[in-house]
Amino acid sequence: MRSLASRRRHPAAILILLLLGLVATGGLYSLLAPKPAQASVATADDMTAGRKLFLANCATCHGLHAEGSKAAPSLVGVGAAAVDFQVGTGRMPLAGPAIQASPSGTVKYTDEQIASLAAYVASLSPGPAVPDGQYTKGDGDIARGNELFKVNCAMCHNFVGSGGALTRGKHAPSLRNVSGKHMYEAMVTGPQSMPVFNDTNLSPTDKNDVISYLHEIDKNQNPGGMTLGNLGPVSEGMFVWVFGLGLMVAAAVWLGSKAA
Amino acid sequence: MTEHYTEPTGADVSLPGTAARLHQGHTEGTGHIEGTGGIPARFADPGLDPHVHRLADHQEKAARRAERQVAALFGISMVATIIFLVAYFAIDLHTYRFVPGIGQANLSNVVLGVSLGLSLLCIGLGAVHWAKTLMPDTEVTEDRHPQRSSEEARADAVDTILAGGDASQLARRPLIKYTLGGALGLFALPLVVQLAGSLGPLPKAELSTTFWRKGMRLMRDPQLTPIKATDVTIGSVFHVMPEGIDKTAHLLEEKGKAAVLLMRLDPDEILIAKERDWGHDGIVAYSKICTHVGCPVGLYEQQTHHLLCPCHQSTFDVTQDCKVIFGPAHRPLPQLKITVDAEGYLVADSAFREAVGPSFWERG
């Protein structure tokens, strides 16, 4: 120790200190700096498997090099998130020509296959990656998520995420019981009619708040029973017009009829 | 007379079942009733239908049964009320159960509602059933009596009024007559003034102007953070409020007028030169308030560039300066002219050049 202290005025000391400082800063930075959301690193094997899957199942419409065709858009630059959303929710492969792809109920590929497909598409050109799990857990601020949801999403997806109609047969799907990952991916990629909500519009924390709100809605119980689709005044008004007024008309007829 | 029918006699028509027909009594070509077509000069009063007695009217057994039915309905009402009272205290407010017909529901809500409804319904049903089966139901006729008073009474009334007028000396003293008229006439004014005053202040220019001024930054709603032009990627939509809107005293009124939607399109897709000029590199800002009845037009389809109003399905085409392409709206959405400030943030280049929202009387 003494020898070290005695050498503190050595001409090289300043150089060594400088180097130490740089290493520490660089190391800390790489540890603490925010990382761009990246899926698990794709290996070359994944990519090859993904390319095979793509050629066998997607290339008919999307083209041999994912360049798109009259029937389907180009997939260059859509990123892994778009693939994971479209295939992972069963929207793709498309069952048949339709005004918009809807979840078919069954997902055609295993998680592994979807991951390799996504890796292949992501390798074509950079695009949004599959989100980091920490922003899709739905453990954020529910009240803030509600506020963001009402301003940015509710006009299409309904105030409790029941979905709604758009123009010419298109619709905004219901958000009930959708996984946080898929909601996040939809916001980032803007599938079909949906606009893109990139990270500068709704930050990852904002997105997590929105997901938290929607997960909370899923847990909500309905005190009155019979939600009528949670569609608001249209379905509820219809119910009252048909059953409520129907009962009143029946009562009026009974009151007005002669006893004998 | 034509060959198609023979002249019916009056006696024919008065018989039941042979009503006068429309073509009877008409002379072809003249179109008016001549009174010879068999319509009697005066229709006889057909009177009431014969009264039909109810079972309970002449069978004591049936009457007793009706009595028991009414009592049973009142009894059910009492039971339902007691169920309500018990359930009010007994059922935990947070219990959810499956209820047939309406699914998973709050048990307390359902039981309280059903029991109270049943209780009131059975009182009503019992009362109506009582009236229909047991209370007298024979038809009653009451003739109308003449209402005009006798001639003497009428003349008396006129005399009284004239005598009163004479006694007041109104005709002889014009000063009183005119001042009274003036006083009464002026007294009507305060009533009119209060009525007109209570209609509220005139709107002035409030309907035509919004919070937006030149140089205000576009802020994300609800975060109220400024937006850089580089933040807005193609296909994005930002919901925007003017800078400083949170400082205003009338927040909701101002928000209701100032809401703006910010979108970025490929500049080549924009068909109208003015829209491109008023935007920035394909970023365009439009009022979010529908020109039909003022709903927020928030449904932006990024592929078709259609903006849809959720209330009445008015559809605006963002590539054509938000022209109305469907629905009841009549005017395009007003565009907010935007530019970029020195730091790269989007700012308004001017206030809205026209009134936003639905039409109103004074709108030019």
Each residue's pLDDT, cut to its tens digit, for chain A (260 residues) gives 556 667 777 777 888 888 888 888 877 877 776 554 544 556 777 788 888 888 888 888 888 888 888 888 888 888 889 989 998 888 888 877 778 888 877 888 888 888 888 888 888 888 888 888 888 888 889 999 999 999 999 988 988 888 888 888 888 999 988 999 999 999 999 888 899 998 888 999 999 999 999 999 888 888 888 888 777 788 889 999 999 999 999 999 998 887 66
With an 8 Å Cβ cutoff, are A224 and B109 in contact?
yes
Question: Which residues in chain A are closer than 8 Å to B230, comparing Cβ atoms?
Answer: 200
The C-alpha atoms of residue B157 and residue A245 are separated, in whole angstroms, by: 53
Contact A155/B236, CB-based, under 8 Å? no
More confident position, B12 or A176: A176
- The residue among B122 and A102 whose pLDDT is bigger is B122
Q: Pick the more confident residue, B362 or B316.
A: B316
The reply to whether A253 touches chain B by the CB within 8 Å rule is: no
Considering A158-167, A194-203, B177-186, B302-311, the range whose residues carry the highest mean pLDDT is B177-186
CA distance B297 to B332: 12
Residue with tokens 């229909």: B132
Q: Which residue does chain B place closest to A152, by CA atoms? A: B239
DSSP state of B217: B
Position B120, amino acid:
L
Helix residue ranges, H only, chain A: 2-6, 13-32, 44-57, 59-62, 79-88, 111-124, 142-152, 154-157, 180-189, 204-219, 233-239, 245-256
Q: What is the ipTM of this complex?
A: 0.72
Instruction: Give the whole-number percent of chain B exceeding pLDDT 90.
Output: 57
Tens-place pLDDT, residues A15-46: 888 888 888 887 787 777 655 454 455 677 77
- Which tokens belong to B16? 């039941």
More confident residue, A101 or B260: B260
Residue B65 phi/psi, 5° resolution?
-65, -45
Q: Taking a C-beta distance cutoff of 8 angstroms, is the pair A103, A89 a contact?
A: yes
Show Cβ contacts of residue B323 under 8 Å, excluding neighbours closer than 6 positions.
Answer: B316, B317, B332
CA of A65 to nearest chain B CA: how many angstroms apart? Answer: 23
Span B47-71, average pLDDT: 88
What counts of helices (H) and strands (E) characterise chain B? Answer: 8, 13
Predicted TM-score (pTM) of this structure: 0.70
**Regarding the domain with residue range A133-219, which homologous superfamily does it belong to in the CATH classification?**
Cytochrome c-like domain (1.10.760.10)
Asked if B109 lies within 8 A of A222 by C-beta distance, the reply is: no
Fold of B218-348: Rieske Iron-sulfur Protein (2.102.10)
- A237–chain B nearest CA distance, Å: 15
Q: For residues B317 and B249, is the Cβ–Cβ distance under 8 A?
A: no
In the structure encoding, which two tokens stand for residue B62, read together?
Answer: 């049936």
What's the whole-number mean pLDDT along residues B1-9?
43
CB contact under 8 A, A148 and B236: no
Structure-token pair, residue B305: 């560039």
- How confident is the model at residue A39, as a pLDDT? 47
Amino acid identity of residue B31, one-letter, is G
Sorted by sequence, the CB contacts under 8 Å of residue A165 that are 6+ apart come out as: A171, A172
Binned at pLDDT 50, 70 and 90, residue B17 comes out as: very low
Distance CA B323, CA B326 (A): 9
- Token look-up 């009706």 returns B66
User: Which pair of tokens denotes residue B131?
Assistant: 């009236």
pLDDT, residue B364, reads 56
Compute the distance between CA of residue B181 and CA of residue A211 in angstroms, rounded to an integer.
75
Residue predicted with more confidence, B24 or B237:
B237
- Helical (H) or strand (E) element with B158: helix B151-168
Exposed / middle / buried, residue B147 (Cβ in 10 Å: 0-12, 13-18, 19+) = exposed
Check residue B2 and give its pLDDT.
39
Report yes or no: B139 and B51 within 8 Å, Cβ to Cβ.
yes
Cβ of residue B53 closer than 8 Å to a chain A Cβ: yes
Closest CA to A202 of A213, A215, A217: A213
Q: What architecture is the A44-124 domain classified under in CATH?
A: Orthogonal Bundle (1.10)
At residue B238, the pLDDT reads 93
For residue B10, pLDDT beyond 50: no
State the smallest CA–CA distance between residue A228 and chain B in angstroms. Answer: 10
Q: What distance in Å separates the CA atoms of residue B170 and residue B179, rounded to the nearest whole number?
A: 11
pLDDT value of residue B36? 62
Average of pLDDT values for B127-155?
89
Q: Would you state the pLDDT for residue A117?
A: 87
| CB contact B102 to A (< 8 Å) | yes
Please state, in angstroms and rounded to a whole number, the distance separating the CA atoms of residues A113 and A109: 6
A213 touches chain B (CB under 8 A): no
- 3-class secondary structure, B259: coil
Lowest mean pLDDT among A65-79, A95-109, B123-137, B237-251: A95-109
Question: Where do the CATH 2.102.10.10 domains begin and end in chain B?
Answer: 218-348
Residue A180 and residue A135: Cα distance in Å, rounded?
8
Task: Report how far residue B341's alpha carbon sits from residue B146's, in angstroms, rounded to the nearest whole number.
Answer: 88
Q: Average pLDDT over chain A, rounded to whole? A: 84
pLDDT at residue B24 tops 50: yes
Nearest residue to A200 (alpha-carbon basis) of A260, A111, A128: A128
For position B23, what pLDDT does the model report? 53
Q: How far is B133 from chain A (nearest CA, A)?
A: 7
Angstrom distance (rounded) from CA B262 to CA B241: 10
E-state strands within B196-340: 218-220, 237-242, 260-264, 283-287, 299-301, 306-308, 315-317, 323-326, 335-336, 338-340
Which pLDDT score, from 0 to 100, does residue A108 have? 81
| CA separation, residue B41 to residues B8, B36, B119, B186 (Å) | 14, 10, 57, 58
